[in-house]
Amino acid sequence: MRADVRAKLRGGGDLVMRRSPAQWWFGSRAVGRLAVLGYHGVEDPAGFARQLDRLLRIARPVSLDDVEMAVATRRPLPGRAVLITFDDGERSVYEHGLPLLQERGVPAVAFVIPSLLDTDTPFWWHEVERLVAADAGDGRTAAQWLRHLKQVPDAERLAAIAGLRDGHEPVRQTQLTTAEVRALDAGGVRVENHSLTHPLLDRCSDADVRAEITVAHDALAKILGRAPQSFAYPNGNFDVRAERVLDELGYRSAFLFDHRLSPRVPDHGLRISRLRVATSTPPDRFETILSGLHPAVHGLRGKG
C-alpha cells in the first residue's frame, strides 16, 4: 500500500477516535491527570505553534519545578496540567522551539547529551540511518538496524556501528553549543540530563550506567552553573541501577517514554510517564493523545 494512502487511512482513524464517545470519556478523566509531552525536535514550527495555542486554550502548562513540588509535597497539580519536554538536544529546539515558547510564556524542559555539545558528531541513530542510506550494512533497512541495535548489549551496539562506518565518509551533524544551551536554560527551557552519550542503559554494564549519569551530571553542572536535578532515560528504557545513581545524586525527577498519562501527583518522582508526540502530529491525533485515548488504544494493540 502506498505511503500516502496509509497516511490518509491513519488520518481517518484519528478523526473517528476524536469524534467517538470514548474520546469524551477519556477527556473527562484526563482533567485529573498530568500530561507530560515528550518531543524530540521542532521539525514543524507552524504545527508546534498550533499545538501550543491549543494547550493554552484547553490545558494548564506547568513547569518542571511545579511537577517536582507536587512530588515532594504530595499536593496535586492543577487540573489539565501539561509539561512540555524535549529529548536529545536537537538544534531545532533552540532555533524554532525557544522563540515560540517564549512568545507564549510556556515553560519547557530540554534533556541534552553533553558529550555532543560544541561538536559535529551525529546522534548515533542518525548516523546509522545515514550510513544505511549510503549502502552500508547487510541489506537491512535503517529501521531494522535500529531495532536490532536497541536490543543488544551496548558493547555490541558500538562495535556494529563502527563496522557500518568502515569505508564510508564520516557522518556530520551540527550540534548545540554550550552558549546555546545556556540561552535555552536562561530563556525558560530548563536544561537537564539525558546521559553522556545516549546508550540504552539497561544494555550497559554497572560501571557504564554510573559513568553515563555522573559524568554528564558534572559536565552540565559546569556549563549551567548549577547541578542538574532531572533526568530522561535514553530511549525511555528504565533501569533500576540508573535510578539508584539518580537517587544518590539527589535528583528530584526522572522521565520514562511509555506513552501514558501520569497522576496529578506522580506516584514515583523518578518514574514519571510521558506521552510520545511530535510537532508534526496531526490535530485529531494530538487531541486523542492528550485525552489518553490514543495511548489506551495502542496499549491494547501492544504498541504502547
Write out pLDDT tens, residues 72-110: 999 999 999 999 999 999 999 999 999 999 999 999 999
C-alpha cell read off for 230: 532531572
What is the rounded average pLDDT of the residues 152-172? 94
Q: Mean pLDDT score of the chain, rounded to an integer?
A: 93
pLDDT, residue 29, reads: 83
| Contact indicator for 71, 123 with CB cutoff of 8 Å | no
What is the rounded average pLDDT of the residues 276-281? 98
pLDDT, residue 1, reads: 33
pLDDT, residue 35, reads: 96
- Residue 239 CB contacts under 8 Å (≥ 6 apart), including other chains: 201, 202, 204, 209, 233
- Residue 215 CB contacts under 8 Å (≥ 6 apart), including other chains: 196
Q: How confident is the model at residue 9 (pLDDT cuts 50, 70, 90)?
A: very low
Q: What's the pLDDT tens digit per position in 173-232? A: 999 999 999 999 999 999 999 999 999 999 999 999 999 999 999 999 999 999 999 999
pLDDT, residue 12, reads: 61
C-alpha cell read off for 251: 535528583
Q: What's the pLDDT tens digit per position in 29-75? A: 888 899 999 999 999 999 999 999 999 999 999 999 999 999 999 99
What are the φ and ψ backbone dihedral angles of 44, each rounded to 5 degrees? -130, 85
pLDDT, residue 304, reads: 46
In whole angstroms, give the CA distance from residue 90 to residue 177.
11
Pairing, β 33-39 against β 262-263: antiparallel
Domains of the chain: 3-74+87-119+175-300 (3.20.20.370), 122-173 (no CATH)
